[in-house]
Chains A and B, each alone.
Chain A
Amino acid sequence: MRAGGARLGAFVDRQLSVLFVAPAFVVLLIILVGPFGYMMWTAFTDLSFALPGHDGNFVGFANFRRLMHDSFFWDSFFLTLRFVVAAVSIEFLLGFAVALLIYHQVTRRRLVLTALLVPMMLAPVAVGLIWKLLLQGDFGMLTYYLRAAGLLGTDQAVLSDAPLVFPAIIAIDVWEWTPFVVLVLLAGLMSLPREPFEAAVMDGANRYQVFRDVTLPLLRPIVALVVLLRSIDAFKEFDKVFILTGGGPGTTTELLSIYTYRMNFKDWDLGYGAACAFMVYLVVLILCAVFHKAVFWQEGRVSAPAPEPVAVTA
């Protein structure tokens, strides 16, 4: 079979590989590095569409100094961090549980999965509107049933109540993206090789031990993949929260993307907005780098390396 991790050498010859990689590299360079580089440069200027005379003159680190003292930015930053940690953890745990459930208990897996995938297929803008309709204080369907169940006071409405609204957006994000976690983890489960499991069972391991010592390690790369992908995307969350709350009430749901949106599209303070974006990008970059190194991307895709032999009970 495949030699995992061995040197591959230049399997595809030089010219062809350049031909193959170059277009992708060039495209990305132009599209993303172009505007992205321009944005980076803007972070060091005073560019503003609103204030006259702010035509993009170089101002050094002025924007970043301002950023350091901007309590609204840091409040937003930590709020977003809490959002990401809470949402992704719940999505992961719930998604894993559901994936296991489907894997073990359901024969018509794909049918169930397809139904389950609906939330993630909807445009986030549509998701925002759907939940706005459900949680509306006067005629929202969910509001009505929550009140009927006594979970919500008749003088309360989820989107106007400061303590409730932040958990609400986490819950909605969980609703939208857990199916994605289920999809990837279920696919992962379905693609695991049989041999380690057979070996473990033969060695007398019980279900819990099999899960802990065989399933989890084998799934580790996939788990890392899905957590990483979700974390990156959760950090950028914008569409549905903006439609639902606009960042309010007050600043209770003002995620970083909403804060940056106000900087860029309300204040048109593009220099400062770029500095904010730079910070966000930096944080996400560091997180991902850490993740990437921690879960070494194996050659041979997201399958496991040859599993360690399961403890043999004599």
Chain B
Amino acid sequence: MSRAWRAAMLAALLAVLVVALTPYVWIILTSFKSRLDALADHPVWLFTPTFAHYPKVFIDKQYLPLVWNSALVASSSTVLSLVVGAPAAYVFARNDFAGKEDLFFFFLTTRMAPPISVVVPMFLLFTAVGLTDRPAAVIIAHTSFNLSLVVWMMRGFFADIPREIDEAALMDGHGRLGAFARVLLPLAAPGLAATAILCFILSWNEFLYAFILVAFESRTLTVGIPGLVTPHGTLWGQVAAVAVVATLPIVIFTMAVQRHLVRGLTFGAVKG
């Protein structure tokens, strides 16, 4: 019974994995297909690959700088969110004061504002201060939603660390600032890593703010994707190529750091 059950469960898991991965595999394959193969009546799994789409998009259409733009925006907003958010999260974790939960909930609510409506006022305000068209505009905009994520998640991670550790650090002669910087932060590192990973992904993948707030030269890969859906035929090969390059870094990045992601989320720091 148990054997059959286990086999069935594993088969189910395999099915789930196939469903999860096949669409992505398909777009990767499509990026190497000629137009005729891509638009064929029957799905084509075996074909002679063409590598023409990638240079056409990245060199002819000059999409290569967009990779750098995406990396710049994502890493900057992640770093900014962590630097600003982690200390605040620490205070929420350790202190108690009137209106704390309400203030915390306020941080939460900032995530709820529909970007569609906030983006136009944001654009107008950024223009008024002359920030539009610079990557800084998008970085700040992304920080606006990543910050709440950081505060929310890091509060839990910090609270997870027993207060005895803080007290011990103080007794060891660290100031409160030092206790935070030299003792707490390293202990919360897995949590920080997990949060950083999620922030990076969200920022890299974001479309609306990146499109509206930034100039042509500074646009990110995600913004570049719809640009290939033209009235002269969606160039599926090229669209696939951009989609692959836009997503592959994140996929590889996450696979490389998944250990930290899972560890961080399991609050593995102090689990017995």
Cβ-defined contact, B117 with A123, below 8 A:
no
B125 in complex: contacting residue of A38, A116, A297, CB < 8 Å = A38
Cβ–Cβ < 8 Å partners of A301 in chain B: 155-157, 159-160, 267
B50 in contact (CB, < 8 A): no
Known contacts: A12-B94, A31-B141, A238-B116. The answer to whether A114 contacts B254 by CB under 8 A is yes
Q: CB-nearest residue of chain A relative to B42?
A: A144
Given A129-B243, A301-B267: A121 in contact with B23 (beta carbons within 8 A): no
* Residue of chain A at shortest CB distance from B106: A28
Summarize B's interface: helix, strand, loop or mixed.
helix
* Contact, CB under 8 Å: B94 / A35: no
Out of B91, B119, B121, B204, name the residue touching A123 (CB < 8 Å). B204
List, in ascending order, chain B residues with CB within 8 A of A194's CB: 272
B84 adjacent to A9 (CB under 8 Å): no
In the complex, are the beta carbons of B39 and A138 less than 8 A apart? yes
B268 touches A125 (CB 8 A): no
Q: Mark contacts of A227-265 with chain B using CB atoms, 8 A cut-off: 1 yes-contact digit, 0 otherwise.
A: 000001001101100010000000000001100110010
The answer to whether B112 and A121 touch across the interface, beta carbons within 8 angstroms, is no
A-B contact count (CB 8 A): 276
Chain A residues contacting B91 (CB-CB under 8 Å) are 12, 17, 20-21
CB–CB A270/B39 < 8 A: no
Binary contact track B88-124/A, C-beta < 8 Å → 1, others 0:
1011111111000100110111111111111111101
Residues of A within 8 A of B88 (CB): 20-21, 23-25
State the main secondary structure of chain A at its contact with B. helix
Residues in B lying within 8 Å of A, measured CB to CB? 6, 9-10, 12-13, 16-17, 19-21, 23-24, 26-27, 30, 38-43, 84-85, 87-88, 90-97, 101, 104-105, 107-122, 124-125, 140-141, 143-144, 147-148, 151, 155-157, 159-160, 162-163, 166, 176-177, 180, 201, 204-208, 221-222, 225-226, 229, 236, 239-240, 243, 246-247, 250-251, 254-255, 258-259, 261-262, 265-268, 271-272
* Chain A residues at the B interface, C-beta cutoff of 8 Å: 1-2, 7-13, 16-17, 19-21, 23-25, 27-28, 31-32, 34-36, 38-39, 42, 98, 101-102, 104-106, 109-110, 112-119, 121-126, 129-131, 133-134, 138-139, 141, 144-145, 175, 179, 183-184, 186-188, 190-191, 193-194, 232, 235-236, 238-239, 243, 256-257, 260-261, 264, 270, 273-274, 276-277, 280-281, 284-285, 288-289, 292, 297, 299-303
